Amino acid sequence: MPPTGDPNRAIEDIIEVLTGLRETGEGDESNWDEIIADPNFGGAWGDFKGGVVVAVIDCSKVDANQLAAIAGGSDFLRLIEVPYTYRQTEEFRSALIEQLAAAGVSGDVNMNSTLNGRFIEVRVPDADELPNTFGNGVPDDAYSIVVTTDLTRPAG
């Protein structure tokens, strides 16, 4: 049985434990930039089953028992190690959006949060339209190119 608490509140509480910061306010008042600058923070999101996925660079630097207690028990916490911080992944996504726009190729760049981490999908109708330099500066394991005509939103 999933925990009875608010999963968004659990995620906020977990982020505060991981980074020492709690997101406050909106817009100019938000401290989200400080939170995502944490060098071990890879992200935290719901698993669509009432649990929480917590991504960090190094699991040995966090108290898994404390995080599990916040999530509602160990059955509701999936603690994973990822190769890139939250900020790095967002910077990679931004770079790919810029490169897609500069190439004049229609497509979109989506961030997917899964049970195994956050991954970027570059969705285009024809991968051959991408220049050979596409993805320069972004590690190959941080994104994949998906050929599809089902484009959900424009790049950017």
| pLDDT value at 24 more than 70 | no
Domain ranges of the chain: 7-81, 86-147
Band of pLDDT at residue 32, cut at 50, 70 and 90: confident
pLDDT for 71 equals 94
Average pLDDT, the chain: 88
Residue 71 · residue 3 · CB < 8 Å: yes
| pLDDT average, residue stretch 104-123 | 94
CA pseudo-torsion sign 45, 15, 122, 82: negative
Where does the pLDDT of residue 108 fall: very low under 50, low under 70, confident under 90, or very high at 90 and above? very high
Q: Where are the beta strands (DSSP E) in 9-140?
A: 41-46, 52-56, 77-81, 108-114, 117-124
Residue 21's CB is within 10 A of a number of other CB atoms, namely 16
Residue 26 has what pLDDT?
54
* CATH 3.30.300 is held by the domain 86-147: yes
